[in-house]
Chains A and B, each alone.
Chain A
Amino acid sequence: MVPLKLIWRNLLRHKLRVLLTAGSLTVAFFLLCVLQALVVSLDQGVKNASKKRLVVQSAVSLFVNLPISYQGKIETVEGVDETMKMTWFGGYYREPANMFAQFAIDADRMETIYSNVELIEGSWDEFKNTRMSCLVGKETANKYGWSVGDRVPIVGMIYPRLDGSEWQFDIAGIYDAGAEASIDDLTMYFHWDYLEEAMEAGATTGADGIGVYSVLLSDGYSQAGVGAEIDSLFENGPQRVQSTPEGEFNAQFVSMVGNVPFFVGTIGMGVLIAILLATLNTMLMSGREQTRDVGVLKALGFDGSAAFWLLLSQSLILCGLGAGTGIFLALGIEGPLQAVLGSNFPGLQINREVLTPAIILAICVALFAGLAPALRARRLTVIEALREEV
């Protein structure tokens, strides 16, 4: 009813102001999408994690290892298909800033337990058969320009070599975690036997025992059930254990990095308040400037709802374009985001769960900012409108 031309051109009357508002909307919604993606990935990391794998860890502390003898005992529990040692190595490549995850594992079992992992270079056999070898995730391999056959030096922090030298590993394969949600493409896996050998030879020192055991369940068994079995097996020690579904196990590390929900919530709220007020201010100003136009329209015979929609549409268009651009940009940055944050936030995606709240929010902002001026326009009488000095 109200000509689109009028809506569009009135919106653009003050280009700088509209540009700034749209710009802040873009920045705000881009941020909100990224933040929401972080939160969603944490949730999904837990939800989508394998239902067939458990992590058996110390019930006492993250920093307490489990005895080696536990592995055999765990394997006797009904429902356990395969187990694998996993000990956090915690070293870095050349400089402390180049820290990334390394695990000492049962090399012969990884393929079974993490069956969805693919080797894009090298072979499983090579990895299994060579004690000094390792598998490296494709992201880390790319970052440092490593390929199969390279010998890479790693400085051990938790297991320092007593002669001050670096640990040497030969890359037997480069992997892509693919569908495996709980593994990222940044980690190095090597032989636990290699570590144990060095400890027995006195070449290194460090805590005894195994960090955690990764357990693959047989079909038809639940994580909760088997987990409880395992826990009760070691109730009387020497070390009590806590068996957790893999997704939850991973999630606990993220919350240690910081209270992510808190940070995300604060940033999100701050950004939202700022953008609401800024957009409202713009729409109010714009609305006031159009008072005369509203008067003319009503004098000509357009009714209150025409005036209402004249203003509300502008808010919807402004927010649609501004927020839309921000959301679009967030989609575009999905790739780089995964590369940078993927290790802490596995399965990071800009997907429907991220976009839907963002779009709803954009509409809410549009309504919040546009309602006041729209209602004012609707109520305005011709006499008031044409008399007012803007």
Chain B
Amino acid sequence: MQESQHGVELIRVSREYTRGGEGVKVFDDVDLSVKPGAFCAMMGPSGSGKSTLLNLVGGLDRPDSGDVIVGDTRLSELGESDLAEWRSENVGFVFQGFNLVPVLTAFENVELPLLLTGLSKAERKEHAMHALELVGMGDRAKHRPGQLSGGQEQRVAIARAIASDPGVILADEPTGDLDFESACQVLDLLGRLHTELGKTILMVTHDPRAAERAERVIHLDKGRINESPAAPDDGFREVKPKEGEGA
């Protein structure tokens, strides 16, 4: 697994939803810049657009205006099926509700994204087992999600997210449904993905202790992005709301 080359840039992104006949601006002309390999936490009250931001970065949603650039790819240039393909190669998702396929075993769940690659059955098995062992679930490969605890499920989900070695990991409240101990385990894992594997991680959370694990914390509120005042300064670019300067 190589060092990530995937930085994330949002340039003058706007996104609006219609709710009950009215338009609600989730983002209005915001910029964001994340360095490759960074571990970035995003916090904010509900409705502030945290998940929307993740969806935009992951290609699950398109902005009304502006650009989303991940690595060297400008997402707006990709059609739907290209986007799907791009996603399979470059992004790994970790969800709050784990979202493992209940009828598949842990191994089969982790293998899923590998089916989109050209790997042979043997190669897929190798990669999947490797990912499972990385998260410490190698011995539970044949168990179904129903037989696993929440923490174990999330770890399998993380294994799935890294199985095809994507550059970016997008985690939406990964510890939201977990008890304290499991949450710590998951956060440790994510940390290791960042330090040992150099993955770019964007993590949405409302848990300040989870946010502490990240290098950088971004606050979202009413569609505006603010940097946490206590964020360590290590050369990241400052984010200015409503200013449109290219990356």
Interface residues of A (CB under 8 A from B): 1, 3, 5-6, 9-10, 13, 292-293, 295-304, 381-383, 386
- For the complex formed, measure the closest distance between the CB of A292 and the CB atoms of chain B, giving whole angstroms: 7
* Interface segment out of the listed B84-92, B125-133, B226-234: B84-92
* Contact of A386 with B84 in the complex, beta carbons under 8 Å: no
**Bound CA span A242–B103, Å:** 70
* Contact of A381 with B85 in the complex, beta carbons under 8 Å: no
Interface residues of B (CB under 8 A from A): 55, 58, 60-61, 80-81, 84-89, 93, 95, 97, 99-101, 103-104, 108, 112-113, 115-116, 160
Given contacts A5-B108, A299-B93, A382-B55, 13 further A-B contacts (CB under 8 A): A1-B115, A3-B104, A5-B104, A6-B101, A6-B103, A293-B101, A295-B99, A297-B112, A299-B99, A300-B88, A300-B160, A382-B60, A383-B60
- For the complex formed, measure the closest distance between the CB of A385 and the CB atoms of chain B, giving whole angstroms: 10
| Residue of B whose beta carbon sits closest to that of A297 | B112
Please give, as numbers and ranges, the residues of chain A lying within 8 Å of B116 by CB-CB distance. Answer: 300-302
The verdict on A383 contacting B80 (CB below 8 Å), with A1-B115, A293-B101 known, is no
24 A–B contact pairs at CB < 8 A? A1-B115, A3-B115, A6-B101, A6-B103, A6-B104, A10-B103, A13-B103, A295-B99, A296-B112, A300-B112, A300-B113, A300-B160, A301-B87, A301-B88, A301-B89, A302-B84, A302-B116, A303-B81, A304-B80, A304-B81, A381-B60, A382-B55, A382-B60, A383-B55
- For the complex formed, measure the closest distance between the CB of A308 and the CB atoms of chain B, giving whole angstroms: 13
- For the complex formed, measure the closest distance between the CB of A13 and the CB atoms of chain B, giving whole angstroms: 6
* Contact of A299 with B112 in the complex, beta carbons under 8 Å: no
Please give, as numbers and ranges, the residues of chain A lying within 8 Å of B58 by CB-CB distance. Answer: 299
- For the complex formed, measure the closest distance between the CB of B32 and the CB atoms of chain A, giving whole angstroms: 20
* Contact of A298 with B84 in the complex, beta carbons under 8 Å: yes
- For the complex formed, measure the closest distance between the CB of B156 and the CB atoms of chain A, giving whole angstroms: 13
Which 8 A/B pairs are nearest by Cβ-Cβ distance? Answer: A301-B88, A9-B103, A303-B84, A301-B87, A382-B60, A300-B113, A303-B81, A296-B99
| Residue of B whose beta carbon sits closest to that of A298 | B84
| Residue of A whose beta carbon sits closest to that of B105 | A5
| Residue of B whose beta carbon sits closest to that of A295 | B99
- For the complex formed, measure the closest distance between the CB of A7 and the CB atoms of chain B, giving whole angstroms: 10
Please give, as numbers and ranges, the residues of chain B lying within 8 Å of A301 by CB-CB distance. Answer: 84-89, 113, 116
| Residue of B whose beta carbon sits closest to that of A305 | B81
**Bound CA span A304–B88, Å:** 14
**Bound CA span A183–B116, Å:** 64
**Bound CA span A293–B104, Å:** 11
Please give, as numbers and ranges, the residues of chain A lying within 8 Å of B93 by CB-CB distance. Answer: 299-300
* Contact of B103 with A299 in the complex, beta carbons under 8 Å: no
Please give, as numbers and ranges, the residues of chain A lying within 8 Å of B103 by CB-CB distance. Answer: 5-6, 9-10, 13
Please give, as numbers and ranges, the residues of chain A lying within 8 Å of B160 by CB-CB distance. Answer: 300
The verdict on A303 contacting B80 (CB below 8 Å), with A6-B101, A13-B103 known, is yes
**Bound CA span A149–B86, Å:** 88
**Bound CA span A1–B88, Å:** 14
Please give, as numbers and ranges, the residues of chain A lying within 8 Å of B112 by CB-CB distance. Answer: 3, 296-297, 300
**Bound CA span A381–B55, Å:** 11
* Contact of A9 with B60 in the complex, beta carbons under 8 Å: no
Please give, as numbers and ranges, the residues of chain A lying within 8 Å of B85 by CB-CB distance. Answer: 301, 303
- For the complex formed, measure the closest distance between the CB of B121 and the CB atoms of chain A, giving whole angstroms: 11
* Contact of B61 with A386 in the complex, beta carbons under 8 Å: no
Please pick, from B61, B99, B108, the residue contacting A3 in the complex, using a CB distance under 8 A.
B108
**Bound CA span A177–B95, Å:** 74
| Residue of A whose beta carbon sits closest to that of B55 | A383
Please give, as numbers and ranges, the residues of chain A lying within 8 Å of B86 by CB-CB distance. Answer: 301
**Bound CA span A301–B86, Å:** 8
- For the complex formed, measure the closest distance between the CB of B107 and the CB atoms of chain A, giving whole angstroms: 11
**Bound CA span A186–B88, Å:** 71
Please give, as numbers and ranges, the residues of chain A lying within 8 Å of B61 by CB-CB distance. Answer: 383
Please give, as numbers and ranges, the residues of chain A lying within 8 Å of B80 by CB-CB distance. Answer: 303-304
| Residue of A whose beta carbon sits closest to that of B61 | A383
Please give, as numbers and ranges, the residues of chain A lying within 8 Å of B115 by CB-CB distance. Answer: 1, 3
- For the complex formed, measure the closest distance between the CB of B66 and the CB atoms of chain A, giving whole angstroms: 18
| Residue of A whose beta carbon sits closest to that of B87 | A301
Please pick, from B88, B99, B104, the residue contacting A386 in the complex, using a CB distance under 8 A.
B99
- For the complex formed, measure the closest distance between the CB of A324 and the CB atoms of chain B, giving whole angstroms: 23
The verdict on A299 contacting B104 (CB below 8 Å), with A382-B60, A386-B95 known, is no
| Residue of A whose beta carbon sits closest to that of B92 | A300
Please give, as numbers and ranges, the residues of chain B lying within 8 Å of A381 by CB-CB distance. Answer: 60
**Bound CA span A292–B86, Å:** 21
**Bound CA span A208–B38, Å:** 110
| Residue of B whose beta carbon sits closest to that of A301 | B88
**Bound CA span A383–B95, Å:** 12
| Residue of A whose beta carbon sits closest to that of B90 | A301
Please give, as numbers and ranges, the residues of chain B lying within 8 Å of A383 by CB-CB distance. Answer: 55, 60-61
Please give, as numbers and ranges, the residues of chain A lying within 8 Å of B89 by CB-CB distance. Answer: 301
- Of A300, A383, A386, the most chain B CB neighbours within 10 A belong to A300
- For the complex formed, measure the closest distance between the CB of B55 and the CB atoms of chain A, giving whole angstroms: 6
* Contact of A299 with B87 in the complex, beta carbons under 8 Å: yes
* Contact of B104 with A9 in the complex, beta carbons under 8 Å: yes
Please give, as numbers and ranges, the residues of chain B lying within 8 Å of A304 by CB-CB distance. Answer: 80-81
